A and B are shown apart, each in its own frame.
Chain A
Amino acid sequence: MNRSIDLKVQSLFMSPAALVAAGIILPPLCYVLITSFQGDTGPLSAYKLIVESSLFRQTLATTLGVASISSVLSLILGYIVALHLARQHPNRRTVLMVLILLPFWTSILVKCFAFTIILGRHGIINNLLSWASGFDVQLPLVLNRVGLFVGMTNFLVPLVVLPVLASLLAIDSTLYRAASVMGAKPARMFWTVTVPLSVPGVVAGLLSVFVMSLGAFVIPALLGGPQDQMLSNLVDFYNRQVLDWPKASAISVILLALASIFIVPMALWRRRKI
């Protein structure tokens, strides 16, 4: 409705938020941007040094690779779960949702700790395998790529399930009845009805998961090996070990720019749905 808004009331309702936006949310971004241009030998020197360093290039490649693969893995696992949840009776679904929401609400540190126990050299998996095979199995499952993917996927799956489930539940169930009356077999129904109509959820889930994984920090630090560090860890490295803030900021700006490529379509996609 476009009734004339009382400006006094509006400022009362919006000013705390405006204060937070202008005083807490925006300045850090500005500081990162400004600092990134304060390299030792000219405004762009930090960027130049970073882009030329092989450490950065390698980390960038790792970041993109890990983010893509773990997004796809989590999409596959998430889709399986969403499909299963969508087929349950609503009451049963509410109960099963706990199985998704509990991991979703669980601290990432708890998960990382648990995976070091599960995947460690003397961890649960290796113990089980040793017991089953009779040999002393010590597969390296953590502090390497494997551990990183396991941790990332575990963290991301609930984030995929929620949007995909929403779009699966939005499918009109009479469509399935119509398709089956017309003689479609289950597999055909899946590919011609379920999959196309869940695309909005899949796109939304995939985009958000990919953006999330671009910025991953804790999981690569705790479950990945030295070769598996991502851009966030590189920022922390320059900030804490090297104490080179222009470089740390420059990497942050590049990371943010990279994420924005996906954030913008994500925002547009969301608006379109509304």
Chain B
Amino acid sequence: MANSVLDPLSRRYRFVGSSLATVVYIFLLAPVVVTIPMAFGPTNALEFPPSTYSLDLFRILFTSDSWLLPLYTSLKVAIFSTCAALFVGLPSAYWIARYEFLGKLLISGVLISPLVIPAIVSGLGIYLYFAYIRIGGTTLSLVLGHVMVTLPYVIVMIIAGVQKLDRNLEFGAELMGANPIRMFFTVVIPELVPSLISAAFFAFLLSFDEVIISWFLTGSDTVTLPVKMYSALEWEVSPVIAAVSALLTALSLLACIVTIGLRKSSGEEVS
């Protein structure tokens, strides 16, 4: 095997490399990990490590309207915008991946653009636009704004999924007499399930964590959890934020595990 004869020199390099990498891993993970014990700390002080442990912060989070309503708004917006992004993204991503057509570059460029346009620009623009068409501050405006942000990711992920499919499967189905719609539902969608699940997870999480666009779009009764958290961090750092953070981290961990699990299971099917 290639790695059986390591000369001392390269072993030393490896050791240095691994040590440096470990430091970076710690740096990356520290902010994720720190919030967990804090979430179980006391309600009157932010300290690490907490002097006492309890579930009080979660109790406050789940009983006070000032946190519960944003949580509820965020869930609602995330669910609706994820569904909408999938509904829009699935057929268009399939078509973009499979066919050449007039204006393809233009429309795919526009759809992908929110990925690279600074969020503050989109946020300000959508604020001005929605104020003009008088839907600013509504849940609908949040859902639409979040569709704009999540759609590019959904499209990119589904295009990657479609490119891995065997084209003959789709063509064979059409040759056997299936019309394009029937073919899409009986061949493409079942084959795309893993990509769809990870796209949905990603879109949900993205919407649930979205700050900047929401910062421009929330009205007084449609404050999302991240916006609430952002203002709380800006003005008075309340210990409840630790509980919210732990909740968000748990959600990220779940999404992360699902993604890796899906990638692994689909990878195993290939080999």
Chain A positions within 8 Å of B, measured between CB atoms, are 2, 5-6, 9-10, 12-14, 16-21, 24-32, 35, 77, 80-81, 83-85, 87, 94, 96-103, 105-118, 122-124, 127, 154, 157-158, 173, 176-177, 185-187, 190, 208, 211, 214-215, 217-218, 221-222, 231-232, 235-236, 239, 245, 248-249, 252-253, 255-256, 259, 263, 266-267
Contact = CB atoms under 8 A, between A and B. Distances in A.
B205 interface: yes
B38 A5 contact: no
B140 to A, nearest CB: 11
A35 B252 CA distance: 38
Chain A contact surface mostly: helix
A27 to B, nearest CB: 5
B48 to A, nearest CB: 5
Contact of A9 (B17, B48, B180): B180
A259 B252 contact: no
B35 A113 contact: yes
Contacts of A111: 31-32
Closest 9 CB pairs of A and B: A28-B125, A215-B118, A114-B31, A17-B92, A84-B21, A232-B120, A105-B252, A13-B91, A107-B209
B4 interface: no
22 contacts: A5-B101, A13-B92, A14-B92, A18-B107, A21-B110, A81-B24, A98-B256, A101-B256, A102-B29, A108-B211, A109-B229, A109-B245, A110-B245, A114-B30, A118-B34, A173-B2, A177-B2, A211-B116, A217-B212, A221-B234, A232-B118, A255-B118
B189 to A, nearest CB: 13
Contact of B245 (A20, A21, A100, A113): A113
A215 B119 contact: yes
Given A81-B25, A105-B256, A215-B120, A186 B9 contact: yes
Given A83-B21, A99-B25, A105-B252, A14 B124 contact: no
A117 B45 CA distance: 11
B121 A252 contact: yes
Contacts of A267: 109
Interface in B89-119: 89, 91-92, 94-95, 99-101, 107, 109-111, 113-114, 116-119
Contact of A106 (B32, B111, B113): B32
B270 to A, nearest CB: 13
Nearest to B9: A186
A32 B237 contact: no
A164 B91 CA distance: 31
Given A17-B155, A103-B29, A236-B120, 19 more contacts: A5-B101, A14-B91, A20-B148, A29-B121, A31-B128, A80-B20, A83-B17, A109-B230, A109-B245, A110-B32, A110-B245, A116-B233, A117-B35, A157-B27, A157-B28, A190-B13, A218-B212, A231-B120, A253-B121
Given A10-B99, A266-B116, A102 B147 contact: no
B252 to A, nearest CB: 4
Given A25-B114, A99-B29, A110-B35, A16 B87 contact: yes
A110 B21 contact: no
B51 interface: no
B233 A113 contact: yes
B28 to A, nearest CB: 4
Interface in B27-75: 27-32, 34-35, 38, 46-48
Given A116-B233, A259-B118, A35 B32 contact: no
B211 A118 contact: no
Contacts of B241: 113
Kindly name the residue among B21, B114, B234, B253 whose own CB sees the greatest number of chain A CB atoms within 10 A.
B21
Nearest to B12: A186
Contacts of A239: 124, 127, 216
B83 interface: no
B255 interface: yes
B31 A115 contact: yes
